[in-house]
Chains A and B, each alone.
Chain A
Amino acid sequence: MIRDSAQVTQDVRCDVCIIGSGPAGLAVALELRKAGKDICVLESGGLEYEADTQDLYAGASVGWDTPLPLDGSRMRYFGGSSNCWAGMCGILDEIDFIPRHWVAHSGWPISKAELLPFYRRAADLLGVTQPIEAGTFAGNGSLAELDLDRKKLETKYLYGAAIWRVGNEYRETLSRATTIDLILHANLTELKVNAAGTSVVHAQARSLSGKAFKVIAKRFVLACGGIENARILLYSNSVMKTGVGNGYDLVGRFLMDHPLVPMASLLPERGDTRVPAYNSSTLITRKSNPLFACVTFSEQFQRDNQVLNSAVYLIDHDEEFGEGLQASVRIRRSYLQGTWPENLGTDLWTILRNVGEVAPAVYDRLTKNRAVRRRLAVKLQAEQAPNRNSRVLLSDDRDQLGLRRAQVSWQISKEDRTSGEKLVKLFAAELGRIKAARVQLDHWVSQAEPLFPDDLRGGEHHIGTTRMANDPRTGVVNTHCRIHATDNLYVAGSSVFPTSSWVNPTFTICALAIRLADHLKQQG
């Protein structure tokens, strides 16, 4: 059932209390439902976006010159950040799980083989129909892979989920579920632990209008995203002064994201049919079977050259698009995504004013004479080296509930840049070798400073702040995603990833959440 916190008349008792109704929280809830567990899901927001709830996500961003936006990159209502998710699914590479001597703090305590069955179940949850273990362009018409030297570079794939907005998709299921109690407008204000800090006794919840209640459960699952999971553990400090599970000062540390930055532009060779297959701007609009090709270092190259597992992909080069084409692309994307264009009137007027630019492009498209010689941008999606000093802290500012807001210090290192630079240069040389395209590196790539230009952005993938490790001195959660220091508090989400890979995280988040649910099913 779904109800509002205003309807809660007494403390709630259940088997498992899940905090957060994003992809991770819902994946755990839907799986546990199959085992007949009594579940309570606490959601801070309502069924739709509300500005005052969203404001609870505001915080300070310090550190890197490009701040990591805290309230715009996450959504605080039913469905969580799936409400701003682009639907990109991918599985991590084998090398992501292995300790790499050239990447400090690397290695997962679980293997890829262990996670694969859960990826398959995550594919069902998110409506991914592609064969996730063997990426291929097969079934995507005439698209062909670049014949790269596989000793150096490989093509990897991301798949488009059919189910993006998990809240919308599973709302009816949750409404009908008799064993799931989804409570809206219920903010977690503290995870109350026993005197020894070894067990969560109850979750204290409160609405913005002041309605307070407790959830008493056998087990608790934090599923609030990479920043909020850490923040909650840190501000739940009425018993343990440094926060829950923070005996080794690890909660909030090792914050990673995927630095995204254009590094070069590319001119495809005459008649080349391979390069357009890697243009995400084109493929993203394919309604069925969307597939996104990226290029990464081969594993062997990573070992031999001690680089991170970063990726590059191609997008339309903004400079090639005038106002008219940009407006038509916005309308087309909205149409294919099934949403109403935000500024339809303005965009149509822009197209009319620039008909001289738009008409030839439409003609090219209709006649299949794609502008193959059109420039594309080469964009980096980098793995970040885990860094203890990149972290989530509590700021001195407080939100409407009186809780300390998050302060994020996202740090980027020289290794992050070096690997990206090496990758784009290698890719450029390979494209020349196979006569697919010629590449112009952006000016800053050839300079030692700055480390990254001002237009660097994070992928809004907040990773690593409650990292997984066998040893409580090196990680916050164990292999079952249970906080080492406690016997009944678990974490779901990308905060448990020890390393970030280049791959978008949501698919792995769901796989790990389903794996966690299987573990919880076996508990009493």
Chain B
Amino acid sequence: MGRRAFLGASLFLLGGISFLRRRQALPETTFRSVLFDNPEFVRALGAEVRKSHPQLVGAQRSPARLPDLLRAHSGAIEHDFEKGNLLSIDGWLVSVTEARICAAV
């Protein structure tokens, strides 16, 4: 590979990486709380919901991913906060819908 080709390929690669990073940084259209970024925390929260609020737990675990579930139920979560449908799980104030989701995944 000649020097010119190498520089061209490098620039193309850097541009591509930069573009992809930029795409990743674009804001999500649906809000998802930072609280659910940590999988370990979500697992612990789910376990606590199953233990202290069994009535919120469905019969089957959901095969869907947590971010998808949170996105799909973002309207219900907002509604919970508007209406005060909240629970304290290990001190964290979460919406009832969020608690159900954490218990299901």
Interface residues in chain A, defined as those with a beta carbon under 8 Å from any beta carbon in chain B? 264, 267-271, 373, 425, 428-429, 432-433, 435, 438-443, 445-446
In the complex, whether B93 has a CB less than 8 A from a CB of chain A is yes
Q: Which residue of B lies closest to A445 (CB)?
A: B91
Report, nearest first, the 4 A-B pairs whose CB atoms are least far apart. Answer: A433-B81, A440-B91, A438-B35, A441-B91
CB-CB under 8 A from A433, the residues of chain B are 78, 81-82
In the complex, whether B31 has a CB less than 8 A from a CB of chain A is yes
B84 touches A435 (CB 8 A): no
- In angstroms, how far is the closest chain B Cβ from the Cβ of A312? 14
CB-CB under 8 A from A446, the residues of chain B are 88, 91
CB-CB under 8 A from B91, the residues of chain A are 264, 440-443, 445-446
Which residues of B75-94 have CB atoms within 8 Å of chain A's CB atoms? 78, 81-82, 84, 86, 88, 90-94
In the complex, whether B55 has a CB less than 8 A from a CB of chain A is no
Q: Which residue of B lies closest to A426 (CB)?
A: B84
CB-CB under 8 A from A432, the residues of chain B are 33, 81, 86, 93-95
In the complex, whether B26 has a CB less than 8 A from a CB of chain A is no
B88 touches A438 (CB 8 A): no
CB-CB under 8 A from B31, the residues of chain A are 269, 435
Binary CB contact string for chain B from 22 to 40 against chain A (1 if under 8 A, 0 otherwise): 0000010001011100000
CB-CB under 8 A from A425, the residues of chain B are 93
Given contacts A269-B33, A269-B34, A373-B34, contact A439 B82 (CB under 8 A): no
Q: Which residue of A lies closest to B77 (CB)?
A: A432
- In angstroms, how far is the closest chain A Cβ from the Cβ of B1? 37
A441 touches B35 (CB 8 A): no
Alpha-carbon distance A438/B88, docked complex (angstroms): 11
B93 touches A438 (CB 8 A): yes
Given contacts A439-B93, A441-B88, contact A267 B35 (CB under 8 A): yes
17 sample A-B contacts, Cβ–Cβ < 8 Å, listed by A number: A267-B34, A268-B34, A373-B34, A429-B81, A432-B33, A432-B93, A432-B94, A432-B95, A438-B33, A438-B34, A439-B92, A439-B93, A440-B90, A440-B92, A441-B92, A442-B91, A443-B91
Given contacts A433-B82, A441-B88, A446-B88, contact A428 B34 (CB under 8 A): no
Number of A-B contacts (CB under 8 A): 48
Alpha-carbon distance A432/B82, docked complex (angstroms): 9
Alpha-carbon distance A268/B33, docked complex (angstroms): 9
Q: Which residue of B lies closest to A271 (CB)?
A: B27
B93 touches A429 (CB 8 A): yes
Known: A269-B31, A373-B34, A438-B35. 18 other contacts (CB 8 A): A268-B34, A269-B33, A269-B34, A271-B27, A425-B93, A429-B81, A429-B84, A429-B93, A432-B93, A432-B94, A435-B31, A435-B33, A438-B33, A438-B34, A438-B93, A439-B92, A440-B91, A440-B92
CB-CB under 8 A from B82, the residues of chain A are 433
CB-CB under 8 A from B95, the residues of chain A are 432
CB-CB under 8 A from A443, the residues of chain B are 91
Q: Which residue of A lies closest to B36 (CB)?
A: A438
A270 touches B84 (CB 8 A): no
Alpha-carbon distance A425/B95, docked complex (angstroms): 13
A438 touches B86 (CB 8 A): no
- In angstroms, how far is the closest chain B Cβ from the Cβ of A421? 12
CB-CB under 8 A from B94, the residues of chain A are 432, 438
Q: Which residue of B lies closest to A272 (CB)?
A: B34
CB-CB under 8 A from A445, the residues of chain B are 91
- In angstroms, how far is the closest chain A Cβ from the Cβ of B4? 36
Alpha-carbon distance A446/B87, docked complex (angstroms): 12
B92 touches A438 (CB 8 A): yes
